[in-house]
Amino acid sequence: MKKIIIVALSVLVVLVAFLGYSGFFTSVVINEEIEGPYVFVGKEYLGDYALSGKRIDSLSNDLKTMNIDVSTSFGIYRNNPEVTPVDNLKSMLGIILQTKDSLQILSLKRSGFVVLHMGQTKSMIVDFPNRTPLSLIASILKVYPELKKYRKKNNYLDVAVLEVYTENAITISMEIQKLDE
C-alpha cells in the first residue's frame, strides 16, 4: 500500500511540474505597448478556430517549399467565439514575413497567399511561454479571461486578437480602441 501511495504522489508531482512548465501556473501580465509593424502572409479562413494549428502547419509547409522563413507564425482571430457561431468564425493564419524574404511578396501573392501589412498599433499585449504542446491551451485558458476583464475595466472595444507564435513564446494582443471613439 505504501508503494502505491509513493507512486501516486510521484506521478502527481510530475504532472503538476509539467503543467507548471507548460504555463498553467504562469501569471498573466498585460502591458500596453506599441506593436508592429508586421507583414503577414497567409490565408483567410471561415470556421472553427480549433483547426488553426493544422492550418498553420499546412501553410508553413507550403511556404517552406518557396524557401520562406516560417519561424514566426500568427493567427488573427476576427470574432469572439463566445458570441459568434463556430461556422461564422473568421481568421487569417500564416507566418510573419521576415525582412530577408520581403522581395518575394509578389511571388507569394501570385501563389494565392494573402499579404497583409500592419503598421504600428497601441495594443494590450501578453507574453506567454511556449514550452510544450499544452502551452497554447494554457495561454487560452489563462490569458483570454484576463484580457476580457482588462478590456472591460478600461472601456476598450472587443476587437480582433493577434496571436504570434515563436519557438519559445506566444504573444497575444488586442489593438486598443476605446468604446467612445
Tally of domains within the chain: 1
Range of the domain at 139: 12-17+20-175
What is the pTM assigned to this prediction? 0.90
Residue 74 lies in a domain: yes
**Helix 134-153 vs helix 2-22: angle between axes, to the nearest 10 degrees?**
60
Give the separation between CA 18 and CA 20, rounded to whole angstroms. 5
Residue 5 lies in a domain: no
Average pLDDT over residues 117-136: 94
pLDDT digits (tens, 9 = 90+) for 58-101: 999 999 999 999 999 999 999 999 999 999 999 999 999 999 99
Give the separation between CA 165 and CA 139, rounded to whole angstroms. 11
Give the separation between CA 151 and CA 82, rounded to whole angstroms. 15
pLDDT digits (tens, 9 = 90+) for 135-178: 989 999 999 999 999 999 999 999 999 999 999 999 999 999 98
For the cut 60, the answer to whether the pLDDT of residue 122 exceeds it is: yes
Q: Give the per-residue pLDDT at 181.
A: 57
C-alpha cell at 81: 467565439
CATH code for position 49? 3.20.80.10
Residue 166 lies in a domain: yes
